[in-house]
Amino acid sequence: MQGQDCSAFYPFSEGVKAEYTTYNKKGKIEGATTYEVVSVTSDADQEVATIHSDLIDKKGEVLTSMTYDIICQDDKVSIGFKSLLSPEIMEQYKDIDLDITGTDIDLPNNLSVGQNLPDADMKMTISAAGMNINMNVMMLDRKVVGQEQLETPAGSFDCYIITYTTKMKMGLSRSSSAKQWIAKGVGLVKQEEYNKKGKLTSSGMLTKYSS
């Protein structure tokens, strides 16, 4: 159970790098997020890829960084719940003590159109100035809705399309929805986010990839 044999969709090889360019609702570049597989470890029943991620502004400056794990076990990958943190939240609380727990995002190696996928969630407690602020992000109603070939600056990819709803609670509740295009061996290729009225608010596209 080594390398790509374990995970169908996400790369489990050290040194793999990907860059996603992010766009606002008008399609203008907002910045980018880079990912690198910095280590891969394995034992008898699972394989773990550690991902380092940088959030970059439109000037090319690194705003903040984070690290999380992707675990491959039992014919699926589980993506660390920390990846549910939006780049804006990462930047806002980068110097503050955070307590984060949650349920990882599961993605089976075998997907089919019409398939329902498990929910995921993340709970975060922010400790600042003697106060605790609680935040909850839930990823609900995940479903494989189609297949599509995508042309990107990083290449052409055969993708499965997954839709889901995101609910964020931090005092007030906020609901949005998203669509992801995921390709075998690469992972996320494209993502679009919509407000509760169904209007596009932001998007991201794989623009560089090296293995």
Q: For residues 4 and 21, which has the higher predicted lDDT (pLDDT)?
A: 21
The pLDDT, as a whole number, for residue 81 is 81
What does the block give as tokens for 7? 């995970």
Distance CA 154, CA 204 (A): 13
- pLDDT, tens digit, for every residue of 69-94? 999 998 999 998 878 777 667 777 77
- pLDDT, tens digit, for every residue of 115-134? 999 999 999 888 877 888 88
The pLDDT, as a whole number, for residue 15 is 95
The pLDDT, as a whole number, for residue 5 is 64
Residue 169 has pLDDT above 70, yes or no: yes
What's at 32, amino acid-wise? Answer: A
DSSP string, 63-75: EEEEEEEEEEETT
Dump strand ranges (E) for the chain: 17-24, 29-42, 47-57, 62-73, 76-79, 97-103, 105-108, 116-117, 120-128, 131-152, 155-170, 172-183, 187-194, 200-210
Contact 15, 36 (CB under 8 A): yes
Residue 157: which residues within 8 A CB-CB, separation 6 or more? 149, 150, 181, 183, 186, 189, 206
Percent residues over pLDDT 90 in the chain: 69
Residue 1 has pLDDT above 50, yes or no: no
- pLDDT, tens digit, for every residue of 183-195? 999 999 999 999 9
Contact 56, 62 (CB under 8 A): yes
The domain at 3-210 falls in which architecture? Beta Barrel (2.40)
